[in-house]
Amino acid sequence: MEREEVIVVKELCKSFGDKRILRGIDLVLHKGENLGIVGKSGTGKSVLTKCIVRLIEPDAGEIKVLGTDVLACDTIELNEIRKKVGYLFQGGALYDSMSVRENLLFPIRRTQFIDKKQDSDELVEKSLRSVGLLDAIDKMPAELSGGMKKRIALARTLILKPEIILYDEPTTGLDAVTSGEISELIIKIREEYNTASIIITHDMKCAKIATDTIRIMQEGVFVVEGTYDELSRSADKEIRDYFI
């Protein structure tokens, strides 16, 4: 049986001034799939994920998320789609002026209009429990370590029960142990929430643990696709070099 396509990207192009970043990207993400995107810095990986949620407007191409053409959406439709797509930013992007609890309450109060304190508190606690950080509920972001920030940001993403999660370098700047924990967490979240994910990473350990397939991006195009084992044993040295 063919799996449902949750993200379809066709011929996506984006330039900044004279610099062409994305040069006709094609991509399909299926329900329940964890797709890794690997490539050197500046090849357009983050630009691609930001185009998918329209944080960046592409120049040309087509993007369908959960069957909706996001480039043809108005603001209200786009916000509805965005609620179903979680985005984990490189630095976590926690709101500095709010405690962990308020960070998690922020999206649900504004998008799900849950007024009952008990209901929202339960959601916050459930989300924090799933990332193993219930103890940090009343802390401020400044009191958290890098790994904790990423986990809290993930909890904030999970609170809206997204169908898709876009991870932008989820393990960057973390030690090997914490990176491993985050990678395991990505797998746990897929099992618990049945999400599909795109994981941008430079961390090959994370790619090995958290992804089903990997695509390598070079200068705005995908050059090869395969599993970790296939690509790490590729006959092409240039491909193998990514996995050293």
Partner 1 sequence: MKQLKVRQLASQKIHIKEETRNFYNGIFIDLGELVIFSINVIKQFFRPPFEHRELIKQGFLLGNKSFALVGVTGFIMGLVLTMQMNPVLADFGAQTLLPSAISVAMVRELGPVITGLICAGKMSSGIGAEIAAMRVTEQIDAMEVSGTNPLGFVVASRVLATTVTVPLLVIFADAFSFLGAFLAVNVFEDTSATLFIDRAFAMLGFRDLIPATIKTLFFGFFIGLIGCYRGYNAGIGTESVGTAANSAVVVASLTIFVIDLIFVLITNIL
Nearest to 94 by CA among 136, 125, 132: 136
Q: Is 15 helix (H, G, I), strand (E, B) or coil?
A: strand
- Spell out the alpha helix ranges (H) of the chain: 45-52, 75-83, 100-111, 117-130, 146-158, 176-193, 204-210, 228-232, 237-241
Find the shortest distance in angstroms from Cβ 79 to partner 1: 4
Please identify, using beta-carbon distances, which residue of 111 and 218 lies nearer to partner 1. 111
Give DSSP secondary structure letters for 107-120: HHHHHT----HHHH
Please identify, using beta-carbon distances, which residue of 166 and 217 lies nearer to partner 1. 166
Find the shortest distance in angstroms from Cβ 229 to partner 1: 33
Please identify, using beta-carbon distances, which residue of 93 and 204 lies nearer to partner 1. 93
Does residue 53 bind partner 1 (CB under 8 A)? Answer: yes
Please identify, using beta-carbon distances, which residue of 50 and 231 lies nearer to partner 1. 50
Q: Indicate which single residue of 106, 193, 222, 243 sits in contact with partner 1 (rule: CB under 8 A).
A: 106
Distance CA 115, CA 120 (A): 7
Find the shortest distance in angstroms from Cβ 48 to partner 1: 15
Distance CA 55, CA 57 (A): 7
Q: Indicate which single residue of 85, 100, 128, 198 sits in contact with partner 1 (rule: CB under 8 A).
A: 85
Find the shortest distance in angstroms from Cβ 240 to partner 1: 33
Find the shortest distance in angstroms from Cβ 86 to partner 1: 8
